Amino acid sequence: MTTDWRSPHPFLLSPTEMGRADRLTIEGGIAGIELMEQAGRAVVRAAVELVSAGAQILILCGPGNNGGDGFIAARCLAAMGYGIDVLLISSADRLKGDARLAFERMGLPAERIAEGQEGQKRLPMLLDSVDLIIDGLFGAGLDRPLEGEIKQIVDAVNDSGKPVLAIDLPSGVNGASGQKLGSAVRAQRTVTFFCEKPGHLLFPGRELCGAVVVAQIGIRPDVFGDIRPQTFENAPALWRHAWPMASQQGHKYTKGHAVVFSGSVSSTGAARLGAAAALRAGAGLVTLASPPDAMMVNACHLTAVMLKKLAGEKAVQDLLSDERYSSVLIGPGFGIGAGTRSSVEAILRASRATVLDADALTSFSETPEHLFSLVKLCDAPVVLTPHEGEFARIFPQVEGDKLARARLAARLSGATLILKGADTVIASPDGRAAINHNAPPWLATAGSGDVLAGITTGLLAQGVSGFEAACQAVWLHGEAGNIVGPGLIAEDLAPALKEVLRALVDKFGEG
């Protein structure tokens, strides 16, 4: 998948914030039923793309406004000549507000509408004969796990193997977290309204949604000004303002000097991957700081990256007394233990923009509070880049969904967090969080994380702030992965950045 990186805004709204966007719009003079009418019509547009003329469509409707969207779609699709059956999981008497109005306007013959128990009885027969199922059971209002008869309906839908178009979210998926509540519909396509929700981007929600279509239903983007969302899709629109554009009159020292700490003689490759990536991401200079025993092996492999011997007790302090080093990466292949902890301490006390990865994180498994206090002493941005295993070691008390965990961990540690994986979450201690969605699965290969840490370090070297550098790096890493494609090994990533940067700089230049 390649990202549509020209999306005009990067906001994601939680279901609660989306409810607020609806309310603000309604207070601004657009009736709720009008929004529902637009939502239902967007569902119709998506449905007709999935079936041929005259197809049989089963519309499952829940007790709230998600069901209301389903009633509108039922009316329009029936008028277009599709064979429509509506299965309402509650009784029609209990419908309220706009959903009730939409039900009353539906105009389907009574025999095409099944309510409650009756619907359940008819379900196997209906599932047998349909070409498409539209899921309007629950959307933003899902507030508890699917259980009992509702869970049975959802399981039967999934077992039927028939294509499903979900309204807003596949029922059972929590829009705020992407987590499954009890059971969840597996859709081929999902039509959501106004903008995406975190649950569309976070797994397992992302997979259960299928392809997501965002439809505009009359909500004006100025509601963002009132809501001030703090959750974002990781796309250039989020961090373009912070992009370190090369200045015509710049020179290598104005682009910063990154230092990457190498492991000992038998584990040097990870740091070199990081160093090459830092250089490719635009740092003016990159130095690999190497223990004496690894000098020769590093020297044999380096060209544009410079090499410096690191020896003696105060080696890190001595090195960083040179103010020109503007960012530091430590962790890849560095080794776990007291030596690593004291190097990290010296780096953070030197207040340099720092990326702590791999062994630099694991070394604090027993004393994470000590790490967090050092981070808070550092006057420059600190970025931690754990995968799930490293995260569990340094944040054992932090639980919940991925977005909530990343946010809480950033707040606890005082660092920007890159919680890696297929749906990497970047979180800032100030509460902002971005969800990444351009990373292909072939990034899951040895050394790929070292490259990500290096790209982040290269951006920090140029003075980009922590959250923006982390978001840019994760996005660049994903795009590079897409360019290389299947068969990718970590060494391929830094060279592929050339093409990614070319396209990005060209687009930014176009305004």
Ligand X SMILES: NC(=O)C1=CN([C@@H]2O[C@H](COP(=O)(O)OP(=O)(O)OC[C@H]3O[C@@H](n4cnc5c(N)ncnc54)[C@H](O)[C@@H]3O)[C@@H](O)[C@H]2O)[C@@H](O)CC1
Ligand Y SMILES: Nc1ncnc2c1ncn2[C@@H]1O[C@H](COP(=O)(O)OP(=O)(O)O)[C@@H](O)[C@H]1O
Give 406 or 452: the residue with its C-beta nearer to ligand Y.
Answer: 452
450 annotated as a binding-site residue: yes
186 annotated as a binding-site residue: no
Exposure string (b/e) for 321-334, b if CB count within 10 Å is 16 or more? eeeebbbbbbbbbb
One character per residue 474-503, x = contact with ligand Y (rule: CB under 6 A): ---x--------------------------
Is 394 one of the binding residues for ligand Y (CB under 6 A)?
no
421 annotated as a binding-site residue: yes
Is 420 one of the binding residues for ligand Y (CB under 6 A)?
yes
Which listed option, ligand Y, ligand X, K ion, none, makes contact with residue 171 (CB within 5 to 8 Å by class)? K ion
- Chain residues binding ligand X by CB under 6 A are 22, 32, 35-36, 39, 62-69, 138-146, 150, 167-168, 193, 217
Length of the chain equals: 511
174 annotated as a binding-site residue: no
131 annotated as a binding-site residue: no
Segment contacting ligand Y by CB under 6 A, of 85-93, 244-252, 318-326, 434-442: 434-442
241 annotated as a binding-site residue: no
Instruction: Specify the DSSP class assigned to residue 247.
Output: P
Is 175 one of the binding residues for ligand Y (CB under 6 A)?
no
Exposure string (b/e) for 444-476, b if CB count within 10 Å is 16 or more? ebebbbbbbbbbbbbbbbbbbbbbbbbbbbbbb
How far the first Cα of the chain sits from its last, in Å, is 25
Hey, which bits of 392-469 come out as E strands? 416-419, 425-427, 433-435
Hey, which bits of 361-442 come out as E strands? 382-384, 416-419, 425-427, 433-435
| Residue 369 Cβ vs K ion, minimum distance, rounded to whole Å | 43
Give 10 or 447: the residue with its C-beta nearer to ligand Y.
Answer: 447
Tell which one of 65, 158, 171, 327 touches K ion (CB under 5 A).
171
Distance CA 428, CA 20 (A): 24
Give 398 or 444: the residue with its C-beta nearer to ligand Y.
Answer: 444
Is 450 one of the binding residues for ligand Y (CB under 6 A)?
yes
Which listed option, K ion, ligand Y, ligand X, none, makes contact with residue 143 (CB within 5 to 8 Å by class)? ligand X
Distance CA 230, CA 430 (A): 9
Residue with the two structure tokens 């509408």: 113
| Residue 482 Cβ vs ligand Y, minimum distance, rounded to whole Å | 10
| Residue 208 Cβ vs K ion, minimum distance, rounded to whole Å | 11
485 annotated as a binding-site residue: no
Exposure string (b/e) for 51-72, b if CB count within 10 Å is 16 or more? beeebebbbbbbbbbbbbbbbb
280 annotated as a binding-site residue: no
Quote the Cα angle for 179-427-281, to 5°: 120
- The SS3 of residue 416 is strand
Distance CA 278, CA 298 (A): 16
Q: Which two tokens stand for residue 390?
A: 């490293």
Tell which one of 207, 444, 463, 501 touches ligand Y (CB under 6 A).
444
Distance CA 414, CA 371 (A): 10
Which listed option, ligand X, ligand Y, K ion, none, makes contact with residue 420 (CB within 5 to 8 Å by class)? ligand Y
333 annotated as a binding-site residue: yes
Is 359 one of the binding residues for ligand Y (CB under 6 A)?
no
- Answer whether 250's CB lies under 8 Å from 230's CB: no
420 annotated as a binding-site residue: yes
Q: What is the DSSP secondary-structure string of 78-123?
A: HHTT-EEEEEESS-GGG--HHHHHHHHT----GGGEEEHHHHHHHH
Is 167 one of the binding residues for K ion (CB under 5 A)?
yes
| Residue 113 Cβ vs ligand X, minimum distance, rounded to whole Å | 18
Which residues contact ligand Y by CB under 6 A?
358, 387, 420-422, 424, 439-441, 443-444, 446-450, 452, 477
The annotated binding site for AMP is made up of 420-424, 449
Q: Which residues are annotated as a binding site for K(+)?
A: 66, 135, 171
The annotation places the binding site for (6S)-NADPHX at: 65-69, 139-145, 168, 270, 333, 387, 450
